[in-house]
Structure 1
């Protein structure tokens, strides 16, 4: 302890003068550490998220640039600039991939003429090359699923069991909506499953990848690419190319037994009425 003497008072004043700069230095040191931490956090964010600053300067390929021009002329009203979507008009296309564009635009479902329960298939407004360009633009803009190149069916010479395997997969995953004959059918709320009889291999593969309308998405973790090819092989060879066993006047590929029964019932009814008419005349 210091005594209450002139010497003690001088000692306390000296200590206060020494402590004041020490507190100032502590405050400056804390501020410097905070600024250093903020600078470090900013540097880490910049290093690991460069796309946030480079998005506006994204370099598109020549094909994507052509697709962007088509998009800006025909799609920007509903899907917005840079395909970010417009509320109440059209969803964002970021991440849908070229497969979705090739299905929707290639089948004429897009552009839509009006908002309704389901986009109907129409003659496409763009040719295949333009559809590819628009798909490439959306692909480079946000990524997403793509239709693989090459043959989308399975050769029966290489895999003789592919047709049977595709039929089993089709019956498990597709018949509840598209029917056993692939003719499609009505769903709830004014929607429907379209017929597969005129669908191309690319359209079927893209539909399984993207799940348009009420159709579920069959990602590669649910149906492998080989299984998708087996389903397409079954649809092409059994439902599209194979002759309908029901003959010329069929009932949706239900087979000759069902159609024979229908013909028998109709025929018997006609014969009964004919017999009654003849009896009445005689």
Structure 2
């Protein structure tokens, strides 16, 4: 009695255990969607992105919108959407407005490598209204809480964080420094704690953004503490020479030190004659 063995068709055996190209593409799309959504959620949280404060009344938003359209819309658009002359402000948050307008950098007087600090053109109430309006357009970094601005943190820890993250541009003493293409890192001497904190979370000009994953709110408070302590103590080693580092010190020694040696030599020679 012969036994028959049935074999599956060749086409069927090839397909067994294989995924179709459409299934692989779908899995990749789902993975990318999940990863992108998780990253966006984490970024929004760590950047301290918050909508406008609840205390911001509709009247403040309307007043801020009128101020914006009268003074800022030429470059940034009537609805803060941006133009060819200025970037969109949707999502920059109230902190960016408080920093830029509160330091006089905005409105900008003219195009250049970067906005220059100048006398403030608005009252604090008007600045708050502008910040509330821009903050109402989309979630963004909000004005920091007062508890992080008291300059009463750990100065030693703040100095370490500053040396690691900020000193390469702002100088170890916070005196500022030159960058490329005519840009520069400004001096931090005399800058208010609020503006220092806002600069860290908004990244104005060439400055990177230090969100709460990079430097925690407590760490930012410590940096402010270190800077304000340094302002108060001054230069314990004598004349600071602008705190510009070894170049300024070497130039001082070369001009005045060497000049004094030459003058003393001439005086001794004349005395002996």
The two structures have a TM-score, normalised by structure 2, of 0.72
Tell me, in whole angstroms, the C-alpha distance in 2 between the residues paired with 1:92 and 1:259. 44
The number of equivalent residue pairs is 216
Deviations 1:73-103 (A, max 9, x none): 100111101101112x011100000000011
Aligned ranges for residues 228-243 of structure 1 at < 5 Å? 228-238=220-230, 240-243=231-234
Select 2:214's aligned residue among 216, 219, 222. 222
| Residue 146 in structure 1 maps to residue 145 in structure 2 | no
Deviations 1:97-133 (A, max 9, x none): 0000011111111111111111000001011111111
Aligned ranges for residues 150-165 of structure 1 at < 5 Å? 150-153=146-149, 156=152, 162-165=154-157
Structure 1 contact 245–253 (Cα < 8 Å) conserved: no
Indicate the residue corresponding to 1:279 in structure 2: 269
Structure 1 contact 246–253 (Cα < 8 Å) conserved: no
Deviation at 1:253, TM superposition (A): 3.8
User: Per the alignment, in what secondary structure is the counterpart of residue 252 of structure 1?
Assistant: helix
Tell me, in whole angstroms, the C-alpha distance in 2 between the residues paired with 1:218 and 1:77. 30
Long gaps (5+) in structure 1:
1-58
Indicate the residue corresponding to 1:11 in structure 2: none
Structure 1 contact 181–252 (Cα < 8 Å) conserved: no
User: Per the alignment, in what secondary structure is the counterpart of residue 83 of structure 1?
Assistant: coil
Tell me, in whole angstroms, the C-alpha distance in 1 between the residues paired with 2:251 and 2:175. 21
Indicate the residue corresponding to 1:94 in structure 2: 90
Long gaps (5+) in structure 2:
1-55
Structure 2 contact 101–127 (Cα < 8 Å) conserved: yes
Structure 1 contact 246–254 (Cα < 8 Å) conserved: no
Question: Larger Cα Rg: Structure 1 or Structure 2?
Answer: 1
Tell me, in whole angstroms, the C-alpha distance in 1 between the residues paired with 2:151 and 2:122. 31
| Residue 105 in structure 1 maps to residue 95 in structure 2 | no
User: Per the alignment, in what secondary structure is the counterpart of residue 132 of structure 2?
Assistant: helix
Which piece of structure 1 moves more, 64-73 or 201-210?
Answer: 64-73
User: Per the alignment, in what secondary structure is the counterpart of residue 204 of structure 2?
Assistant: coil
Q: Indicate how the Cα distance of structure 1 residues 269 and 209 shifts in structure 2: closer, same or farther if over 3 A, else same.
A: same
Indicate the residue corresponding to 2:76 in structure 1: 79
User: Per the alignment, in what secondary structure is the counterpart of residue 242 of structure 2?
Assistant: coil
Aligned ranges for residues 1-282 of structure 1 at < 5 Å? 61-87=58-84, 89-153=85-149, 156=152, 162-238=154-230, 240-247=231-238, 249-253=239-243, 266-267=256-257, 269-280=259-270, 282=273
Tell me, in whole angstroms, the C-alpha distance in 2 between the residues paired with 1:196 and 1:84. 31
Q: Indicate how the Cα distance of structure 1 residues 83 and 260 shifts in structure 2: closer, same or farther if over 3 A, else same.
A: closer
Q: Indicate how the Cα distance of structure 1 residues 80 and 221 shifts in structure 2: closer, same or farther if over 3 A, else same.
A: same
CA RMSD of aligned residues (A): 2.7
User: Per the alignment, in what secondary structure is the counterpart of residue 220 of structure 1?
Assistant: coil
Tell me, in whole angstroms, the C-alpha distance in 2 between the residues paired with 1:227 and 1:260. 34
Deviations 1:35-74 (A, max 9, x none): xxxxxxxxxxxxxxxxxxxxxxxx9711111111110110
Q: Indicate how the Cα distance of structure 1 residues 167 and 173 shifts in structure 2: closer, same or farther if over 3 A, else same.
A: same
Structure 1 contact 246–259 (Cα < 8 Å) conserved: no
Deviation at 1:222, TM superposition (A): 1.1
Q: Indicate how the Cα distance of structure 1 residues 115 and 169 shifts in structure 2: closer, same or farther if over 3 A, else same.
A: same
